[in-house]
Amino acid sequence: MNYPSPESTPPPYGQPPYPQVPAPPPAAPQSGPPADPYAPYGTGPQYGTGQQYGSGQQYAVSQPYSAPPQQTPPGGYAVPYQQTPPPSGTNGFAIAALIFGIMGGWLLGFIFGFVALSQIKKRNQNGRGMAIAGLVLSSLWTLAICAVIGIAIVAANETGASGTTGTTGGDDTSVHSLRIGDCLNDLSTEDEIEELPVVACSAPHDGEVYAEFKLTQATFPGIDAIEKEADPRCADLLKSYAPDAVDDPAVDTYYLYPTAESWARGDRAVTCIASFDPARTGKLKG
């Protein structure tokens, strides 16, 4: 039996036929839990995340919209780079400090050196090394000068001691500073004697001071009058100082007396000295 096809069957009730719309393909089964009906707009279920059945068309997952690039807001203005200005020449006081330090002007070297260090920092100048060198050299000169002064003081003290106690040296001593017991050399016959070398009595010497007395005249009596008084008086004083020396032919008397010029300055002393020929060692008064 032949059955008529559905297309040849006329529509019932004489209605015109409607075009047949093809049925949509069956939707792929949804994987996962059903969508939340209260989810906000735009957060619907993602397609393509579950297992696909059949060979139906796969829907691509839509990519989220990328955020527009953010622009960094402009910052504040940067501080411009400041260059240190170059040194403005060499400080003149530094040069002067070095020169005086070399030449030995230690005081000016100190002054100029400290002034230079103060100005170099404020004025941005060269010469710091020269200023320091001047200060160092001035310090060395100061130490050297202090050492020389110290040596001179020590030598002066030793010289003073030799004049009073007698040393092996031959330091000249003023005739007004002679003391009893000093041993002398180079006794001369000159009219005026201002100094005589004082030596140690243990060394060979030409004379020994043994007495001193003062003249009492109101005015200068003259050389002859002084000699007439000094000869016998010094002889008597020798007897008191060293009696055995009076009869010793190698011992004679020698004395120093004021001149007219020294008398005007207040000199009244006569110094009695025992002279030896030949020179001897040891004290006359033993």
DSSP type of residue 175: G
Give the start-to-end residue ranges of the domains of the chain: 92-162, 171-280
Q: What is the mean pLDDT of the chain?
A: 76
pLDDT at residue 89, rounded to an integer: 84
pLDDT at residue 22, rounded to an integer: 57
Q: How far apart are CA 15 and CA 11, in angstroms?
A: 6
Which of 37-46, 61-70, 225-234 has maximum average pLDDT?
225-234
Which has the higher per-residue pLDDT, 68 or 166?
68
pLDDT at residue 124, rounded to an integer: 86
Q: How far is CA 274 from the centre of its chain?
A: 61
Q: Report yes or no: 246 and 239 within 8 Å, Cβ to Cβ.
A: yes
pLDDT at residue 167, rounded to an integer: 41
Report pLDDT digits (tens) over 115-159.
Answer: 999 999 888 889 899 999 999 999 999 999 999 998 988 877 665
Is-above-0.75 flag for pTM?
A: no
For every residue of 109-162, DSSP letters joined together read HHHHHHHHHHHHHHHT-B-HHHHHHHHHHHHHHHHHHHHHHHHHHHHHHHHHHH
Q: Where are the alpha helices (DSSP H) in the chain?
A: 92-103, 106-123, 128-165, 223-241, 243-246, 260-264
Residue type, 3: Y
Q: Report yes or no: 171 and 183 within 8 Å, Cβ to Cβ.
A: no
